[in-house]
Structure 1
Amino acid sequence: MKLIKALALFTVITASAQDNYNIVVGTYTNACQSKGIYVYDFNVNTLEAKLKSSTDAVINPSYLTVTKDKKFLYSVNEDGAKSTVSSFKYNAATGKIDFINKKDSGGADPCYIINDDKNVIVANYTGGTISVFERKADGSLSDTVQVVKHTGNGPDKSRQEAPHLHMVYFSPDKKYVFANDLGTDKIYMYSYNADGKAKTLTLKQSFSVKAGSGPRHLVFNPNGTFVHLLQELDGTLTTLDYTNDKLTSVQEINVNPNLLGGKHGAADIHFSNDGKFLYATNRGDANTVSVFRVHANGMLSMVQQISTQGSGPRNFIVGPNDGFVLIANQNTNNIAIFKRDKSTGFLSYTGKKIELCSPVCLVFTANK
């Protein structure tokens, strides 16, 4: 009987310890030869990746999002005035992606996309709009049910001549959708009504950041009490207290304090799964990833800064076991694989890369 119980326990532990995951990759297709969206089988122990499947002739699916049940995938198709948003069936076991439909994006050059059980929401960079689409039962997209148009500009006449929506992001409680506008140096906070159709998003407030900084991506601290905002144009990383549904700036630091006179291009920001470290990529003349220790009061202190082993680092992902980080280097056509020390947060390059045309967005999913 003891042997049977021991074997049963071993089976449960083995079943719960997942070694392989899917990595879904969105790319640009206008810079080199790319089929669009790729799915890799990735082993978290060996850090080896094997191509599982890909789409064919999908235009510039630079950012994508997978539904919670892993049955559907949505991507932007960044193509100027002809930009669209696409829906796909997604089979996690095989990695197969099957096109369902696509709709006009409601603004030029969509660059970020999120979903929940009811809606798909897109940030249109050049168009300066936020578009809301309903998710139908078969996974297809409706026409836009709401398009929110921003107005204004900023001091950088070459980059801030108009609104440029760069991200939409659900608050942890799903009460709000936050939108970062690089063109107006503002974070917009919208009340979210999932069944609201033309009134899905209602502006609650906006928060101005340093003029000319260009807010790009943000992330909530795992405890939900702080927001960390990465600004593209000057490499500023701002920590904001998020109490009583209001934002208050409490710290401003730089992701590359030694980049004197150099060009910033701050891109993406993510926490480790344990919430103890924050990571941020910077393009331009830097091409680095910066590592920050997160203190109990929400403040950050830099502990490491290293090369991303490529040019134009965009999106990156921290492994589900916190043991590694993958960084998409858009300009050098590779995804660099780093080991991660869980106690120090430090990254070390493994020498391994996934060679792929113009990778931008990386998403982990279970493979079954």
Structure 2
Amino acid sequence: MLQSIAQEIPMFVGTYTHKGSQGIYLYMFNTEDGEATLYSATAAEDPSFLAKSKDGKTLYAVKEQDQKSAEVAAFTFDGDILSFVNSQPTLGSSPCHVAVAKNHPLALVSNYGGGSLTVFKLEDNGALGEHIQLIQQEGQGPDKERQEASHVHSAFFSADEEHVFVQNLGTDQITIFRVAQEKGTYQLVEETVISTPAGGGPRHIAFDKKEENMYVLLEMKAQIAHYKKGNKTWQLLDTLSINDDGFTGENGAAEIKFSPDFKFLYASNRGEANSIALFSVEKSGTLKREKVYATEGEEPRNFNISPDGRFLLVANQSTDDITVFARDLNTGELQDTGKKIEVSTPVCILF
């Protein structure tokens, strides 16, 4: 069994497999110097997004393919190797996101192509049970090329896991569902719909620590829409660009995450930008763009921050590498360490 020393932690990388990737890669990441050592590879087809159970003993991965072969799979992790448990069809094409509850036996899969959300109940051993709900969303947006139909891009649980927020890039909407439970039976019940800026395409969201502010990443406009909660409703306060002033190139915002201390917010942009933006967060929740960094690679699909906050890693899908940035805990600023992790078509990083 893998005997990790104190400063080494497991890091999983999800990939697309059309260019030769084997599937899911396990690295040991050294939180002292930012070095990553490849430990193992687990065969999987297009495992483009990953999520872990609360205890870290089960890993879930979507298989982002057409409806006939689209699946979500469960793997056990014993601290050493991943072992396949089972998989279930997602009932929608191009599943691109999976979220797993910490306190409920639930997994949520967002089907981008199918425009739907599939809810699975998990078994006691972490295995995927059959789906218990398929929520099909309909509609379109003003961009006839990208928003010709519903495209569910992500689903996030609230911190108390009493609600689920579902982002639909195709309809410029966020739907809030209540997690209803009765005698072990679960159901997501729609409560309200938030309209996001037209043509923006909501992709992912991030909440502040108290969940009084919600930051919505708009993929197509490369903006962050800032909403504040008041009287149980969410009000749009502002939209901010994640690009440097004067940038006029093609956009493709991809990921948004808080630093572990919630003092800083980061957002990545693909397209012709290939950048990651740093925002400071005031006590009121107001964002201030501090700096925009080149990701030193192309198509930064996803990024993640080491649990101690000292490193930020960016998955550059098109250049087959992961850039390792050192992160200043006081200012949030990033510095390229010069260290690259070479891996085919990386699209998700999970600690």
TM-score after normalising by structure 2: 0.95
Post-superposition CA distance 1:89-138 (Å, at most 9, x none): 1122x1x1111111111210111101124111111001000001111122
Which has the higher mean CA deviation after the structures are superposed, 313-322 or 125-134?
313-322
Task: Report the CA distance between 1:243 and its aligned residue.
Answer: 3.4
Task: Report the CA distance between 1:244 and its aligned residue.
Answer: 4.2
The amino acid that maps onto 2:342 is: E
Task: Report the CA distance between 1:258 and its aligned residue.
Answer: 2.9
The amino acid that maps onto 1:97 is: L
Task: Report the CA distance between 1:242 and its aligned residue.
Answer: 2.2
Q: Hey, what's the Cα distance between the residues in 1 that align with 2:263 and 2:256?
A: 14
The residue aligned with 2:91 is: 106
Task: Report the CA distance between 1:274 and its aligned residue.
Answer: 1.1
The amino acid that maps onto 2:131 is: T
The answer to whether the aligner puts 1:156 opposite 2:143 as a matched pair is: yes
The answer to whether the aligner puts 1:292 opposite 2:279 as a matched pair is: yes
The residue aligned with 2:153 is: 166
With over 3 angstroms needed to count, the CA separation of the structure-2 counterparts of 1:130 and 1:84, relative to structure 1, is same
Q: Which runs of 4+ in 1 moved over 6 A?
A: none
With over 3 angstroms needed to count, the CA separation of the structure-2 counterparts of 1:91 and 1:189, relative to structure 1, is same
Q: Hey, what's the Cα distance between the residues in 2 that align with 1:289 and 1:196?
A: 45
With over 3 angstroms needed to count, the CA separation of the structure-2 counterparts of 1:194 and 1:340, relative to structure 1, is farther
Q: Hey, what's the Cα distance between the residues in 1 that align with 2:311 and 2:209?
A: 19
Structure that is richer in strand per residue: 2
The answer to whether the aligner puts 1:64 opposite 2:65 as a matched pair is: no
Task: Report the CA distance between 1:260 and its aligned residue.
Answer: 4.0
The answer to whether the aligner puts 1:351 opposite 2:338 as a matched pair is: yes
The residue aligned with 2:75 is: 88
Aligned pairs (5 A) from 1:1-368: 18-30=6-18, 32-56=19-43, 58-81=44-67, 82-92=69-79, 94=80, 96-116=81-101, 117-193=104-180, 200-258=187-245, 260-364=247-351
Q: Is the 8 A contact 2:8 2:30 kept in 1?
A: yes
Q: Is the 8 A contact 2:148 2:170 kept in 1?
A: yes
Structure that is richer in helix per residue: 1
Cα RMSD (Å) of the superposition? 1.5
The amino acid that maps onto 1:210 is: P
Q: Is the 8 A contact 1:146 1:197 kept in 2?
A: no
The total of aligned residue pairs comes to 344
The residue aligned with 1:14 is: none
With over 3 angstroms needed to count, the CA separation of the structure-2 counterparts of 1:305 and 1:213, relative to structure 1, is same
Q: Is the 8 A contact 2:304 2:313 kept in 1?
A: yes
**Looking at CA atoms only, which structure, 1 or 2, has the larger radius of gyration?**
1
TM-score after normalising by structure 1: 0.91
Q: Is the 8 A contact 1:118 1:194 kept in 2?
A: no
Task: Report the CA distance between 1:355 and its aligned residue.
Answer: 0.4
Q: Is the 8 A contact 1:87 1:99 kept in 2?
A: yes
Residue segments in structure 2 that go unaligned for 5+ positions in a row: none
Identity of aligned residues (%): 38
Which has the higher mean CA deviation after the structures are superposed, 137-146 or 288-297?
137-146
